Amino acid sequence: MKPQRIPEIKKMLCSCQECYETNGYFTQLHDLGKSLNQNENLNRLIMFASALSSKDRLIILRTLKGRDKCVCELEVVLNKSQSTISHHIGKLLTAGLIEGYKKGNFTYYHLLEDNLKSQIEILNKELQV
pLDDT value of position 10:
80
pLDDT value of position 17:
67
pLDDT at 28 over 90: no
Q: What is the largest CA-CA distance in the chain?
A: 70
Model confidence band, residue 12 (pLDDT cutoffs 50, 70, 90):
confident
User: Cβ(115)–Cβ(96) under 8 Å?
Assistant: yes
Query: Helices marked H in 1-129 — which ranges?
Result: 6-16, 22-37, 40-52, 55-66, 71-78, 82-94, 113-127
Q: Give 43 or 100, the one with higher predicted confidence.
A: 100
pLDDT value of position 40:
78
Cα separation, 29 vs 108, in Å, equals: 47
pLDDT at 36 over 90: no
CATH of domain 54-127: 1.10.10.10
Measured on CA atoms in the order 61, 83, 55, 49, is the torsion positive or negative? Answer: positive
User: Cβ(110)–Cβ(60) under 8 Å?
Assistant: no
Of 23-32, 58-67, 81-90, which range is least confident?
23-32
Give 116's contacts (C-beta < 8 A, 6+ positions apart). 61, 97
Q: What are the residue ranges of CATH 1.10.10.10 in the chain?
A: 54-127
